[in-house]
Amino acid sequence: EAGVAQSPRYKIIEKRQSVAFWCNPISGHATLYWYQQILGQGPKLLIQFQNNGVVDDSQLPKDRFSAERLKGVDSTLKIQPAKLEDSAVYLCASSLGSGGRGETQYFGPGTRLLVL
Amino acid sequence: DQQVKQNSPSLSVQEGRISILNCDYTNSMFDYFLWYKKYPAEGPTFLISISSIKDKNEDGRFTVFLNKSAKHLSLHIVPSQPGDSAVYFCAASDGTYKYIFGTGTRLKVLA
């Protein structure tokens, strides 16, 4: 079974530029998550989709971050414009069901973003 | 406000010995806890979980203990192997889908 795929793996941009990350979840997984992991911290949930609907985006900085899940499968996360503090690893995860407690989340390898 | 804390950023253990990784939490509403393991350049992978109705859960060499009164959980790895060298994150949930992760502990198992 293929895992969660993410691209690119690394990205370096200058502040005020825009960037987009792509995620392809495990086939058949209904729920998709985007996390931000700043160096030295644990992953922090940015947004959760169930199929193509948003379940929770309370921690997404909506003035600069946006995300969509096309047809309930792939997802893109965009930052526009980027700030220095956005430097982090962006992790995508998926789970089979509705994302309830106890449901295992499967993580992709992440995209490491460096904003200069 | 860090609701889930892993106060030891790193730990070194000899191969064959026990590794004990600790995690403390502050939110008494947390009732489900997980441990994830992360290798460099990979995403975290689920390791083991425990519900607050239990105080111990075992899976092979991995055992998680939960002390609700102390708001403390620990992961024991016995015996430790070099392949266990990774960063370990604990995470907690208050009954919703949302997990709050700790900052991680880097375990190095010395051959």
What's chain B's average pLDDT?
94
Residues of A in contact with B44 (CB under 8 A): 43, 91, 107
Instruction: Identify the closest residue of chain B to A101 by CA–CA distance.
Output: B97
Angle at A42 between CA B44 and CA B68, to 5 degrees: 95
Low-confidence ranges of chain A (pLDDT < 50): none
B-facing residues of A in 66-85 (CB < 8 A) are none
Q: What is the pLDDT of residue A11?
A: 97
Q: What is the pLDDT of residue B34?
A: 94
Cα(B93)–Cα(B47) distance, rounded to whole angstroms? 16
Q: Does B65 touch chain A (CB under 8 A)?
A: no
Partner-chain contact A107 B45, CB within 8 Å:
yes
Across the interface, which of A45, A48, A104 has its CB nearest the CB of B46?
A104
| Number of Cα atoms under 13 Å in the Cβ half of residue B18 | 9
Q: Does the structure show a pLDDT above 80 at B96? A: no
CA distance A105 to chain B (A): 7
Q: Do the Cβ atoms of A10 and A78 come closer than 8 Å?
A: no
pLDDT: is B29 or A99 the higher one?
B29
Across the interface, which of B32, B102, B103 has its CB nearest the CB of A102?
B32
With b meaning 16 or more CB within 10 Å and e meaning fewer, what string describes A56-90? bbeebeeeebbbebeeebebebebeebeeebbbbb
How confident is the model over B40-64, as pLDDT tens digits? 989 999 999 999 999 999 999 999 9
Instruction: Identify the closest residue of chain B to A47 by CA–CA distance.
Output: B98
Q: Does A57 touch chain B (CB under 8 A)?
A: no
pLDDT: is B75 or A51 the higher one?
B75
Q: What is the pLDDT of residue A1?
A: 64
- Segment B95-100 shows an average pLDDT of 81
CA distance A69 to chain B (A): 19
Residues of B in contact with A4 (CB under 8 A): 43
Q: What is the pLDDT of residue B1?
A: 67
